[in-house]
Structure 1
């Protein structure tokens, strides 16, 4: 029970408030029970003294024998219990009236009975005076009725149980209401703090109060909103960071795979050249024909040089992307210029070129890199098209974008090879690619350049051939 009270703010506030109210109520009741009879007694004493002083003034103006009527009239007062008269020697002196003697006997009996029974308090004062016919000093002792004081004290004692019950009920109700009003916002804030410790921020306090607790509630709402935003931003940043880390891992793995493939691809022509040179130096068999094998070695060296240039281009794309300059380029002019350079090969294979382009079509990009994109895509169409095939080249501007496509007929790519076409060193037909001098890096470079320009190259088989396209 004690542990429950210690762990409950409501119970603590309730018990403390109840105790304080009970103590305050009982203290007020005790003070009233003590001071009210005292105050009433003092008031009666003042009244008794005033009447006694008036009575003494009247006695000093009459003789002893003629004062009987005054004594009778004074004792007849309802607030006078009895009167005693003493001479200067301290001896009791009978009052000068027979009527007083009868009244005196009654008063003495009543006073004795009450005194022995209920112990009614009696007020008394003594006064010194002299009658008009004598210079002797007398002492008059006046006893006043004080039954009201006793009744008042008894009333307080009689109503104490009822007052105690009322005080208990009122103190209990008031303490419960006060504790509820005081602890409700505190308990709500405590509950909110537990949720905040668990990072549960989907709550809001009704901050309609204008006091310090209301300010605290509004501050908690603001804190919750700010924490929620901060956590959301942190989670987004963490997701982005995780994505960046994963992307970096993928790039690192791609670089590792790429340079592993580069090493393998460069090793083949180097090995061939080395074998041919050793055969010629040693004069082994057919290698004695130096002119023939030197010519082959030169071809392989040219292929090797072309491959190294492509590798350098890829390296530049990966490490110096911000250094590339972007200009306003006429892609129609670039396409026509490359077709002029390959005019002999086109004529040799009797290829038909169909152009579907405006006189000028401008794009924004790096001139050297975009020339390589167009030359690689159109060059592949020319190289891998069979004799007498048709090549369709189109470039159309639409809403600040240019869509380019090149399609060569009479040839198709196996479906399982299409997703791999843009991988480094991938060749659809290994033997024919090597004969045509392909390194397997052309389409990989095209895709990397287009990615730097915010675009992507796609490839698909059509009814008549293969189509490469991109939008920039």
Structure 2
């Protein structure tokens, strides 16, 4: 029971409020029960003293034998219980009253004193003593006046009689008021406590009633704002975390790609270097066919040229990775680049008796890096020239469609196997048969083309056509 009370805010507030109300009510009742009779007694004392003062003034103006009528009038007053008269020696003096003349014998004082003692036992009395002299004597008398104070006793008894009923009413009111007060105070606090538990579990799908205008209402509004800000912040953190995870995954893929790339580079460089070393050693030692140095020096030169081309392309890839999207862009004419390259390879085209078919605009401008885009066009057109059979046709298209430049080159020749098309833009990947090392390719040309187009927001695609193979991109 005690544990439940200690763990319940409502129980604590309820019991505390009830105890305070009970103590306050009982204190007020006790003060009333004590002070009201005392106040009433003081008022009666004041009234008794005023009447006694007037009576003494009247006695001083008459002789003792003639004062009986005044005493009779005083004793007939309902608020006067009795009077006593003493001479200067302190001896009791019978009252010279006419109504009680038979009381002039010696037993009068005793009877009156006995009656007074009995009255004192049954009801409270008020008294006052006054000194004076009658007009016919200089002797000093002392008059004691007793006033009836039954009302004071009745008032005290009334407080005692109503105390149980007052106590019941106070208990009922205290329980009702305490219950209402506890609900009013603890309800919002318990609501906030419940919400704080949800907040600790990061459950933010709640709102606090904002109708209150006091401090608790302000706290509720602050919690609502805190919930909204936390929800937005958590959402931003989750999105940022997802982006970070994606970036990390992308970085892992890039790192793996770099590892694979350099592994392939090592392999690709190792093979021609090994061949060159073997041929050079054979020529130096004059072993067998290697005695024909002119023949094998020419082969070594061809391999060296291939290595040089490969190194240049590797350097190009390295520059692409470090440049990112920060490379310089200009307005350049694709048609001019295509025609310039065709002029440079005119002898090769004529030597293979190739037929070039152009479907190009008069001018086609794009935003890009001139040196890189020249490499894209030269690689794609160069591959079409290199891998086309003697006397074949090559179709080159460069047109503007809906504000975009659309380029394609198609050459006659062997189709690319379907399973090789997805790998065609991988570094050092070569399709066997017609696209083998005998053509002198490094396996990096299409990889470089794709990387450059990615930097320009485009992508190269390849497909087999009825006549041969077609490469295209839109930028």
Place the TM-score, normalised by the shorter chain, in its bin.
over 0.9
Match of 1:91 in 2: 91
- Between the aligned partners of 1:4 and 1:149, the Cα distance in structure 2 is 49
Counterpart in the other structure of 2:53 = 53
Counterparts of 2:85 and 2:229, CA distance in 1: 95
Find out whether 1:356 has 2:362 as its counterpart: no
Q: Does 86-95 or 101-110 show the bigger shift? A: 101-110
In the other structure, the counterpart of 2:279 is 276
- Once superposed, what is the RMSD of the aligned Cα atoms? 2.4
Q: 2:148 aligns with which of 118, 139, 145?
A: 145
- The whole-number CA distance in structure 2 between the counterparts of 1:443 and 1:402 is 20
Matched, 1:123 2:117: no
Q: Whole-Å Cα distance in 2 between the matches of residues 99 and 455 of structure 1? A: 139
Maintained 8 Å contact 2:380/2:471: yes
Following superposition, the deviation at residue 108 of structure 1 comes to 7.3
Number of equivalent positions: 470
1 CA distance for matches of 2:466 and 2:144?
A: 145
Q: Distance in 2 between matches of 1:114 and 1:467?
A: 137
Q: Closer, same or farther in 2 for the Cα pair 1:102/1:196, shift >3 Å?
A: farther
Matched, 1:5 2:5: yes
* Structure 1 unaligned residues grouped into runs of 5+: none
- Show the counterpart of 1:225: 228
| 8 A Cα contact 2:462 2:472, kept in partner | yes
Equivalent of 1:458 in 455, 461, 464: 461
Superimposed CA distance per residue, residues 179-208 of structure 1 (whole angstroms, 9 cap, x where no aligned partner):
222223322332232222222333332334
| Corresponding position of 2:237 | 234
Task: Provide TM-score, normalisation by structure 2.
Answer: 0.92
Distance 1:342 1:101 in 2: 168
Residue range with higher mean Cα deviation, 96-105 or 431-440:
96-105
- Separation in 1, partners of 2:102, 2:120: 20
Aligned to 1:69: 69
Q: Deviations 1:87-137 (Å, cap 9, x if unpaired)?
A: 222222221124146899998787665544xx3111111111122222222
Aligned to 1:416, what secondary structure does the other structure show?
A: coil
8 Å contact from structure 1 (residues 81, 107) kept in 2: no
Following TM superposition, by how much is the alpha carbon of 1:213 offset from its aligned partner in structure 2, in angstroms?
3.0
Distance 1:240 1:192, change over 3 A: same
1:414 equivalent in alignment to 2:417: yes
Among 327, 331, 340, the residue aligned to 1:328 = 331
Corresponding residue of 1:338: 341
Residue 209 of structure 1: how far off its partner (Å):
3.3
Which residues in structure 2 correspond to 1:5-404 (within 5 Å)? 5-100=5-100, 115-116=120-121, 119-321=122-324, 324-404=327-407
Unmatched tracts of structure 2, length 5 or more: none
Distance 2:434 2:279 in 1: 20
Instruction: Judge which range, 459-468 or 72-81, deviates more.
Output: 459-468
Deviation at 1:263, TM superposition (A): 1.1
| Deviations, residues 13-58 of structure 1 (Å, cap 9, x unaligned) | 2222221111111101000000000000000010011111111111
Structure 1 stretch displaced more, 174-183 or 436-445: 174-183
**C-alpha distance in 2 between matches for 1:20 and 1:113:** 45
